[in-house]
Amino acid sequence: MKLIEANSELGVKILLNLSELLLGRLKQCNQDVIRLTTALSIALSK
């Protein structure tokens, strides 16, 4: 927080980059859950 308060422009860039990284990981996690759920559904239906 001190960095953001001391240099708001740099702080905003860091937070934006961090949020993009987290968003990408969350999207991948969601895709993985969908694949696993589909595989489980197929396995249980046999």
Alpha-carbon gap, residue 9 to 16, rounded angstroms: 11
**Predicted local confidence at residue 45, as pLDDT:** 94
* 1-46 residue pLDDT tens: 787 789 989 988 999 999 999 999 999 999 999 999 999 999 999 8
Nearest to 14 by CA among 27, 25, 3, 28: 3
Nearest to 35 by CA among 27, 46, 19: 27
**Predicted local confidence at residue 2, as pLDDT:** 82
**Predicted local confidence at residue 31, as pLDDT:** 98
Q: How many CB atoms lie within 10 A of CB 11?
A: 15
Half-sphere exposure at residue 9, Cβ-oriented, CA atoms within 13 angstroms: 0
* Residue that has been written with the tokens 């960095």 in this structure: 3
**Predicted local confidence at residue 1, as pLDDT:** 72
Domain containing residue 41:
2-45
